[in-house]
């Protein structure tokens, strides 16, 4: 598998684009040499003007066909051969490719109905003047069928994009409805299993769980344990919070090796303060759950849980999901995440305090807090901001907006 089809979009290089030469089109790969021009005329973008609506309509047919099928990659700025199936023949750089990618991504969100969750695009300069190739990474959608900006639905048939029949639209709708029910069952099972695990420890504990489930293309790795060191790796993240540099550190350090588990792998981290479990299943479900005692090593009451721990675990979950999808050869797969926080304090009416990563208290929250509607892992920075906003709201923090959080060292 080519690196450009597996690695994170922001890490794709000019050399990765060049390596496409000779690669065939197929159900998950589409090449376009340039922006389609109406009546054979060059698109206005090529002469320094705006992208035409005609070009958007033609390009978005291909993107919709991919997302209504198995997902994949769409490369704009790659000449294709005349053979069947066509192969990448040469790089044909498009001007201002970074700006072009951003404009097309925004237009796709506005014009494709409904918007495609997790759709992303980047411009990869191949020339010194900023011209290059636009790469779309298109996930298989869990809210399909989608309509292009010409109001028609499309699907992939081999290396071609074709209009969908009414029967195909109905079949896809039924299939995805069953898939959504299956996802809900997985998230509900995660909640019930966590509740059972957490309640066994008795009163005087604080617990946190975050679960990531693939919601687009089905993922599967036959044996997860041999690659556990790549998936179950707890990282410490450097970030800025409201312009201030902070470190996001996990509650438990990553000092244990993973263990084989039934159809998966797991890592158990434990000390006198509590326990953290980090699990990955062969179907791509990844989970972190953690429990800490109310009291510290001196027996003093510590009814606080640090926001930094929560953010670090969610960031690690996002990274692990990306790595799993890459190993499974489906890097464009979309993930959803749910999380919850709960505590048991016996007969005492003791509030759960959420502590700021830089010191001090954000506020107190009522337990439990459960996010049932999955959050998308497609945009990791947006995910982190959403989680932080949910926590601030649960703590009744009196701020117009939580401070901006930016992770500095995503892999």
Matching residue, tokens 């989608």: 146
User: What are 224-283's pLDDT values in tens digits?
Assistant: 999 999 999 999 999 998 888 999 988 888 878 899 999 999 999 988 888 999 999 999
pLDDT at 165: 87
3-164 CATH fold: 3.30.950
Can you give the C-alpha Rg of the chain in angstroms? 23
Question: How high is the pLDDT of residue 347?
Answer: 47
More confident residue, 108 or 219: 108
- pLDDT of residue 365 exceeding 90: no
pLDDT for residue 329 is more than 90? no
Q: Are 95 and 131 in contact (CB under 8 A)?
A: yes
Per-residue pLDDT tens digits for 53-81: 999 999 999 999 999 988 889 999 999 99
pLDDT at 202 over 70: no
Name every residue whose Cβ is closer than 8 Å to that of residue 221 and which is 6 or more positions away in sequence. 227, 282, 284, 324, 327, 328
Determine the pLDDT at residue 48.
92
pLDDT in tens, 17-38: 999 999 999 888 999 999 999 9
pLDDT at position 229: 92
Compute CA distances 389 → 181, 287, 331, 361, whole Å: 28, 21, 28, 15
The total of other beta-carbon atoms located within 10 Å of residue 13's CB is 14
pLDDT at 298: 65
Q: What is the pTM of this model?
A: 0.74
pLDDT at 144: 85
- Residue 372, pLDDT > 90, answer no
Is residue 288 within 8 Å of residue 317, measured between CB atoms? yes
Cα–Cα distance between 401 and 208 in angstroms, integer? 24
pLDDT category at 300 given cuts 50, 70, 90 is low
Task: Map tokens 């998966």 to a residue.
Answer: 264
- Domain chopping of the chain, boundaries: 3-164, 180-407
pLDDT digits (tens, 9 = 90+) for 95-131: 999 999 999 999 999 999 999 888 889 999 999 999 9
**pLDDT score, position 301:** 66
Least confident of 167-171, 301-305, 367-371, 405-409: 301-305
Average pLDDT, the chain: 88
Name the residue among 39, 100, 29, 95 with its Cα closest to residue 62.
Answer: 29
């Amino acid at each position: 598998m080519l690196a450009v089809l597996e690695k994170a979009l922001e890490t794709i290089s000019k050399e990765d684009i060049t390596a496409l030469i000779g690669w065939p089109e197929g159900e998950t790969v589409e090449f376009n040499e340039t922006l389609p021009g109406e009546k054979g005329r060059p698109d206005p973008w090529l002469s320094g003007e705006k992208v035409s609506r005609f070009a958007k309509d033609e390009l978005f047919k291909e993107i919709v066909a991919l997302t209504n099928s198995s997902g994949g990659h769409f490369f704009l700025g790659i000449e294709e051969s005349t053979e069947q199936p066509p192969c990448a023949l040469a790089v044909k750089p498009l001007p201002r490719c970074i700006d072009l990618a951003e404009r097309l991504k925004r237009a796709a969100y506005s014009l494709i109905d409904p918007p495609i969750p997790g759709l992303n695009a980047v411009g990869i300069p191949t020339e010194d003047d900023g011209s290059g190739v636009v790469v779309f990474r298109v996930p298989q959608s869990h809210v399909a069928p989608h309509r292009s900006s010409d109001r028609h639905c499309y699907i992939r048939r081999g290396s071609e994009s074709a209009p969908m029949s009414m029967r195909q639209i109905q079949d896809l709708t039924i299939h995805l409805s069953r898939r959504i029910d299956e996802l809900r069952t997985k998230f509900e099972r995660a909640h019930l299993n966590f509740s059972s695990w957490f309640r066994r420890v008795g009163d005087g504990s604080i617990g946190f769980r975050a679960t990531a489930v693939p919601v687009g293309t089905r993922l599967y790795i036959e044996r997860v344990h041999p690659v556990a060191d790549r998936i179950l790796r707890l990282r410490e993240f450097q970030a800025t919070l409201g312009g201030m540099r902070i470190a996001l550190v996990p509650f438990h350090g990553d000092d244990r090796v993973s263990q084989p588990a039934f159809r998966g792998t797991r890592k158990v981290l434990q000390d006198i303060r509590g326990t953290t479990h980090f699990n990955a299943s062969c179907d791509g479900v990844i989970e972190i759950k953690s429990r800490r005692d109310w009291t510290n090593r001196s027996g003093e009451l510590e009814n606080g849980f640090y926001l930094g721990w929560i953010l670090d675990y969610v960031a690690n979950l996002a990274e692990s999901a990306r790595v799993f999808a890459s190993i499974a050869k489906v890097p464009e797969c979309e993930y959803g995440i749910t999380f919850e926080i709960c505590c048991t304090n016996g007969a005492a009416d003791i509030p759960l305090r959420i502590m700021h990563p830089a010191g001090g208290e954000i506020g107190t929250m009522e337990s439990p807090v459960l996010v049932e509607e999955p959050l998308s892992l497609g945009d990791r920075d947006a995910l982190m901001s959403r989680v932080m906003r949910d926590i601030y709201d649960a703590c009744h923090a009196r701020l117009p907006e939580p401070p901006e959080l930016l992770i500095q060292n995503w892999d």
